[in-house]
């Protein structure tokens, strides 16, 4: 059985988590035979758009429906809440050729937030077993760490932009990982929208925070244009600078072959 890899992508909002996730997926599709699970764990649910995937509904919406049914008393008494929920989660899964996409979505109504996150934590235990690679595009907030959603992650990527706040968030993530004893094999610091001149600073900061150096991704006009016109990043030209940079990261992560 091939080794399975679970990779999470976190960092401050707007640093490029979703972009890095999409580019890594493109790399995996073009350079390997692997089939992956892609989880959009950000309530903003940007990833389906960025990948050009049509989403019917999120786990959050589905859990709201379940909650309504329970309250209305219309849930079949022969099924447990857990069974219904798990069936619902599978129904929200979008199946593409080379990857499946699961979008957690927003918590709708009181009590749903915890619920969605409990589901997320549990599917990471079970669902990810069916795939060779799983990518988790995390929310910008750090709650997922204290909830230990990342507990089964092999490699964590922390994306930062060239800003003090980006680095501070990276430091805070590392501290939380240590505090809650998440046993991640590797944590990489990746600098997005970095120039080669800034690379040394990033390397030093990674060292200082206690993170492995993950490399830099340059500012890329194609990434901007594709976002602006709503074209899927999976179709970005192979000679786009950001995509060219992602290959190195993919190899560090062990995504080859």
Ligand X SMILES: Nc1ncnc2c1ncn2[C@@H]1O[C@H](COP(=O)(O)OP(=O)(O)O)[C@@H](O)[C@H]1O
Where along the sequence are the contacts to Mg ion (CB under 5 A)? 17-18, 42, 46
| 26/67 with CB nearer ligand X | 26
State the DSSP string of the chain.
-PPPEEEEEEESTTSSHHHHHHHHHHHHHHH----EEEEE-STT--HHHHHT------HHHHHHHHHHHHHHT-S-TTS-HHHHHHHHHHHHPEE-SSEEEEE-----STTHHHHHHHHHHHHHHHGGGGSSEEEEE--SSSHHHHTTGGGG-SEEEEEE-SSHHHHHHHHHHHHHHHHTT---SEEEEEEET--GGGHHHHHHHHHHHT-EEEEEE---HHHHHHHHHT--GGGS-TT-HHHHHHHHHHHHTT---
User: Is 220 a residue that touches ligand X (CB under 6 A)?
Assistant: yes
User: Is 165 a residue that touches ligand X (CB under 6 A)?
Assistant: no
Which of ligand X, Mg ion, none binds 223 (CB below 5-8 Å, type-dependent)?
ligand X
Q: Between residue 176 and residue 215, which ones bind ligand X under the rule CB under 6 A?
A: 192-193
User: Is 223 a residue that touches ligand X (CB under 6 A)?
Assistant: yes
Q: Between residue 26 and residue 55, which ones bind ligand X under the rule CB under 6 A?
A: 46
Q: How many CA atoms lie within 13 A of 97 on its CB side?
A: 9
Q: Which residue in this structure is represented by tokens 């995996």?
A: 28
From candidates 8, 17, 60, 182, binder to ligand X by CB under 6 A: 17
| 11/66 with CB nearer ligand X | 11
| 39/85 with CB nearer ligand X | 39
**CB of residue 136 vs Mg ion: minimum separation in angstroms?**
12
**CB of residue 16 vs Mg ion: minimum separation in angstroms?**
8
User: Is 16 a residue that touches ligand X (CB under 6 A)?
Assistant: yes
Which of Mg ion, ligand X, none binds 105 (CB below 5-8 Å, type-dependent)?
none
**CB of residue 1 vs Mg ion: minimum separation in angstroms?**
32
Listed in sequence order, the residues at least 6 apart from 178 whose beta carbon sits closer than 8 Å to its beta carbon are none
- Residues that bind ligand X (rule: CB under 6 A) add up to a total of 18
| 46/222 with CB nearer Mg ion | 46
User: Is 103 a residue that touches ligand X (CB under 6 A)?
Assistant: no
How far apart CA 178 and CA 200 sit, in angstroms, is 25
The one segment of 14-22, 55-63, 83-91, 94-102 that binds ligand X by CB under 6 A: 14-22
Q: Which residues bind ligand X (CB under 6 A)?
A: 11, 13-19, 46, 192-193, 217, 219-220, 223-224, 227, 242
């Amino acid at each position: 059985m091939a080794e399975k890899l679970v990779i999470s992508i976190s960092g401050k909002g707007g640093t490029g988590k979703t972009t890095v996730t999409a580019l890594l997926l493109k790399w995996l599709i073009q350079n390997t035979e692997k089939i992956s699970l892609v989880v959009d764990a950000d309530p903003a649910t940007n990833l389906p758009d960025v990948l050009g995937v049509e989403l019917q509904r999120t786990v959050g919406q589905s859990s709201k429906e379940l909650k309504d049914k329970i309250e209305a008393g219309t849930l079949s008494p022969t099924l447990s809440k857990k069974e219904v929920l798990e069936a619902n989660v599978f129904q929200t899964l979008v199946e593409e050729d080379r990857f499946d996409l699961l979008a957690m979505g927003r918590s709708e109504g009181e009590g749903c937030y915890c619920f969605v996150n409990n589901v997320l934590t549990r599917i990471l235990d079970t669902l990810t077993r069916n795939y060779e690679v799983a990518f988790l595009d995390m929310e910008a907030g750090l709650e997922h760490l204290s909830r230990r959603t990342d507990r089964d992650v092999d490699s964590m990527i922390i994306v930062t932009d060239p800003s003090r706040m980006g680095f501070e968030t990276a430091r805070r993530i590392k501290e939380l990982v240590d505090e809650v004893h998440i046993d991640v094999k590797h944590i990489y610091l990746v600098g997005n929208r970095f120039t080669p001149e800034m690379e040394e600073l990033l390397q030093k900061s990674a060292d200082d925070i206690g993170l492995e150096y993950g490399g830099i991704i340059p500012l890329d006009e194609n990434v901007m244009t594709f976002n602006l016109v709503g074209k899927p990043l999976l179709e970005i030209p192979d000679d786009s600078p950001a995509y060219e940079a992602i290959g190195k990261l993919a190899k560090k992560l062990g995504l080859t072959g």
